[in-house]
């Protein structure tokens, strides 16, 4: 009698009894590890653990049980083999899809292939795989299947010729890469940012909605990629003043406002030219087309305030209802205690002061200049920023009731950029008036000196903190 360990069924049974739990345990740990790391491959490992491996074990046992007859002739074995073959096909195709396309890096050819081509390839491979399974398991004649697939593909291709054209055009666009997501295009008068590219069309956000442009239209016509202009993007706009405004003053104002825009490309110089009559054109460069809208919005906002401070008639409007004698007199009465003014002194000061307004983000005063006036903040908030290399370090804030330009009394240059954080209203008191007041009120000189010392200390503290931070990073 043959020992049981030499029986044909023994080693296959040992493989299933011992190998199956071990393999399932390893696959479970592998799946858990991938799932914790957020890797999509954990789904494929789950399919292998829950379906493919157990079915392989069942197939091994089933062939051993039916060993008395030809296992290939047993219907149950054929059904199990068919299901197992189908699961293996799904396992292989899904694994390849995740490794090649789902986890593809941005910008690679795999990430740019339209999903429809991946789906079509998957369907064709499944059909071929099933044909192979039926050939091996059921001894089926699969020649007819391949013939049907060929004829069907030809018929479908002819029927969908008009629909396939945009797909092919889209494929060429994806591989040629004349633009990418986020680029700005000017195509046939439509101008906007590319937000989606698929197998059929390109979606362009024009600001007034999403323009759906077929790939065939883009492939058969010329368009301009505004995002590939060598690092800068030109912006121009026209504005009007009055014919009584001096052109030189208007041009200087336009150039100054454009030069201070945060969107302006570093190292470039804005230009402004008269267009004849009351029209002027101003041009400057920004970092890209995406900043054009924001730059123009800020430019027009700041220009409105700056034109009124300069007494120029932007858009032909020379009126300013904000600057009135009543509002000016009330502002003088507000700052009178700070300047130690009596009633008569306050009345005498009214004709020499003026009201100014600044938009949020505007620079009230820049470092390196000697101020010619004290500016008392009536409303809003001003931040003092210290220039340091390519940075602007916040040093302190000036709120309503305080003032800037205190070094006008000592004729020292300003050390900080004085930037309006909100809309700011100031009362401008010329330095000549301050000198006169100080002669009769020495206490005012002491107060201004204390403010100067405090602001100098704020600047030193900001610089010291930043230098210490850089040293800590370097070490």
Are 437 and 340 spatial neighbours (Cβ–Cβ below 8 Å)?
A: yes
| Residue 352 DSSP symbol | G
Position 144 scores a pLDDT of: 63
The separation between CA 112 and the C-alpha centre of its own chain, rounded to angstroms, equals: 20
Are 382 and 420 spatial neighbours (Cβ–Cβ below 8 Å)?
A: yes
Position 15 scores a pLDDT of: 75
Position 4 scores a pLDDT of: 52
In whole angstroms, what is the distance from residue 82 CA to residue 59 CA?
Answer: 11
Are 197 and 181 spatial neighbours (Cβ–Cβ below 8 Å)?
A: yes
In whole angstroms, what is the distance from residue 91 CA to residue 247 CA?
Answer: 76
Position 94 scores a pLDDT of: 81
Position 426 scores a pLDDT of: 96
CATH class of 179-225: mainly beta
In whole angstroms, what is the distance from residue 341 CA to residue 339 CA?
Answer: 5
Position 80 scores a pLDDT of: 80
Tell me yes or no: is domain 233-316 CATH 3.40.50.170. Answer: no
φ/ψ (deg, to 5) at 424: -120, 135
Q: Which CATH architecture has domain 325-472?
A: Sandwich (2.60)
* Cα angle, residue 461 at apex, residues 459 and 465 outer, rounded to 5°: 120
- 3-state helix vs strand vs coil in the chain, percent to 5: 55, 20, 25
| Residue 226 DSSP symbol | T
Own/partner pairs, 383-387, CB within 8 angstroms, 24+ separation = 383/418, 383/419, 383/421, 384/416, 384/417, 384/418, 384/455, 384/458, 384/459, 385/416, 385/417, 385/418, 385/419, 386/415, 386/416, 386/417, 386/459, 386/462, 386/463, 387/416, 387/417
Q: Is the dihedral of CA 60, 61, 63, 67 positive or negative?
A: positive
* pTM metric for this prediction: 0.62
* pLDDT digits 0-9 by tens, 355-369: 999 999 999 999 999
CA dihedral 416, 421, 427, 429 (to 10 degrees): 0
Are 179 and 112 spatial neighbours (Cβ–Cβ below 8 Å)?
A: no
φ/ψ (deg, to 5) at 327: -70, -35
Are 122 and 93 spatial neighbours (Cβ–Cβ below 8 Å)?
A: yes
Which three-class secondary structure state does DSSP give residue 245? coil
User: With a cut of 70, which residues of the chain have pLDDT below it?
Assistant: 1-11, 65-74, 101-117, 141-177, 199, 220, 228-231
């Amino acid at each position: 009698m043959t020992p049981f360990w030499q029986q044909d069924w023994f080693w296959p049974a040992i493989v299933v009894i011992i190998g199956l739990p071990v393999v399932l345990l390893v696959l479970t740990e592998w799946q858990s590890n991938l799932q914790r790391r957020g890797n999509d491959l954990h789904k494929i490992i789950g399919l292998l653990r829950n379906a493919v491996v157990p079915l392989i074990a069942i197939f091994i046992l089933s062939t051993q049980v039916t060993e008395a007859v030809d296992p290939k002739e047993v219907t149950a074995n054929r059904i199990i083999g068919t299901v197992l073959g189908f699961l293996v096909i799904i396992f292989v195709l899904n694994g390849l899809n995740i490794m090649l396309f789902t986890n593809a890096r941005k910008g690679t050819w795999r990430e740019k292939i339209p999903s429809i081509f991946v789906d079509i390839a998957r369907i064709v491979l499944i059909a071929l795989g099933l044909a192979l399974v039926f050939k091996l398991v059921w001894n089926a004649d699969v020649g007819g299947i391949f013939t049907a697939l060929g004829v069907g593909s030809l018929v479908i291709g002819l029927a969908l010729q008009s629909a396939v054209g945009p797909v092919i055009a889209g494929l060429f666009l994806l591989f040629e890469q004349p633009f990418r997501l986020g680029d700005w295009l000017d195509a046939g008068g439509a101008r906007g940012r590319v937000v989606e590219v698929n197998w059929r069309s390109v979606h362009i956000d024009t600001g007034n909605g999403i323009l759906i442009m077929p790939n065939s239209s883009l492939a058969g016509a010329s368009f301009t990629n505004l995002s590939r202009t060598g690092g800068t993007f030109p912006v121009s706009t026209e504005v009007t003043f009055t014919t009584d405004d001096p052109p030189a003053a208007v041009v200087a104002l336009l150039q100054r406002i454009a030069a201070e825009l945060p969107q302006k490309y570093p190292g470039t110089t804005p230009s402004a030219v008269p267009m004849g009559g009351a029209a002027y054109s101003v041009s400057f460069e920004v970092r890209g087309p995406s900043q054009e809208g924001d730059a123009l919005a800020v430019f027009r906002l700041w220009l409105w305030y700056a034109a009124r401070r300069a007494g120029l008639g932007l858009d032909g409007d020379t009126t300013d209802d904000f600057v009135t004698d009543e509002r000016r007199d009330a502002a003088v009465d507000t700052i009178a205690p700070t300047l130690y003014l009596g009633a008569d002194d306050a009345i005498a000061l009214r004709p020499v002061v003026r009201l100014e307004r600044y938009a949020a983000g505007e620079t009230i005063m820049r470092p390196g200049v000697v101020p010619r006036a004290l500016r008392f903040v009536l409303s809003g908030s001003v931040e003092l920023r210290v220039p340091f290399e390519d940075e602007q370090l916040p040093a302190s804030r000036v709120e309503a009731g305080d003032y800037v330009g205190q070094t006008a009394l000592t004729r020292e240059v300003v050390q900080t950029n004085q930037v309006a954080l909100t809309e700011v209203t100031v009362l401008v008191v010329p330095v000549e008036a301050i000198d006169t007041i100080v002669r009769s009120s020495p206490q005012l000189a002491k107060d201004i000196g204390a403010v100067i010392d405090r602001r100098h200390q704020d600047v030193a503290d900001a610089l010291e903190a930043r230098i210490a931070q850089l040293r800590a990073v370097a070490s």
